[in-house]
Amino acid sequence: MKTRIIAAICLLALAAPLKADNHAEHYVIDTPGAHAFIQFKISHLGFSWLYGRFNDFEGEFTYDPDTPENSSVEVTVQTASVDSNHERRDDHLRNEDFLTVEEYPEAHFRSTAFERVEEGQYRMTGEFTLLGVTRELDIDVEHVGAGEDPWGNYRRGFHGTTTFRLADFGIDYDLGEEAEVIKIILDIEGILKTDD
């Protein structure tokens, strides 16, 4: 009898993580439908804000509504797709003063932790690689919403913001003191992956 009880406890212990994993939802970021955006904001000489975006990126995320700590994100950005609505400036951003896109064509983010701050608000930590330099990055995340779209897909969306110093990734071009820190604005909508 004692042996059976011990065996049952062991089975329950093994089954628990499997059961928790069943609640995790796996999404593909909807870049083909242009329902996801990676934007940046940086000071222009302290007089105004300059905005831009990256047009080419892809990624996936996993979200566990019951246990958010099990959630994760991975995104790859093609740095040559930088777009600040000014061709000459974009060419400059692609060269060795900034993104050096020929040598480093991709930037990459992979989450390592995801924690709930309050209802619908999270703090995500991950490894961000840019110009061959990898550093830890914290992103403030807001859950925007989820539900079925008119075409029968299930979607979920998040908004995120973070900042970092350009010099931390080896970008030391002098844009003035006001432009030492860049803000990244993320709006990500994913389509739930199915077994079909």
Query: How confident is the model over 45-76, as pLDDT tens digits?
Result: 999 999 999 999 999 999 999 999 999 999 99
Q: Is 4 within the bounds of a domain?
A: no
Q: Is 6 within the bounds of a domain?
A: no
pLDDT exceeds cutoff 80 at 123: yes
**CATH number of the domain to which 149 belongs:** 2.40.128.110
Q: Is 112 within the bounds of a domain?
A: yes
Q: What is the pLDDT of residue 195?
A: 74
Within 13 Å of residue 105, how many CA atoms lie on the same side as its CB? 2
Q: Is 7 within the bounds of a domain?
A: no
Residue 52, CA distances (Å) to 43, 143, 166, 177, 183 in order:
12, 23, 15, 19, 11
pLDDT exceeds cutoff 70 at 13: no
Q: Is 2 within the bounds of a domain?
A: no
Mean pLDDT of all residues belonging to the chain: 91
Q: Is 58 within the bounds of a domain?
A: yes
Q: Is 183 within the bounds of a domain?
A: yes
Enclosing domain of residue 114: 24-192
Tokens at 166, concatenated: 């350009």
Q: Is 8 within the bounds of a domain?
A: no
Query: How confident is the model over 150-195, as pLDDT tens digits?
Result: 999 999 999 999 999 999 999 999 999 999 999 999 999 999 998 7
**Domains in the chain, number:** 1
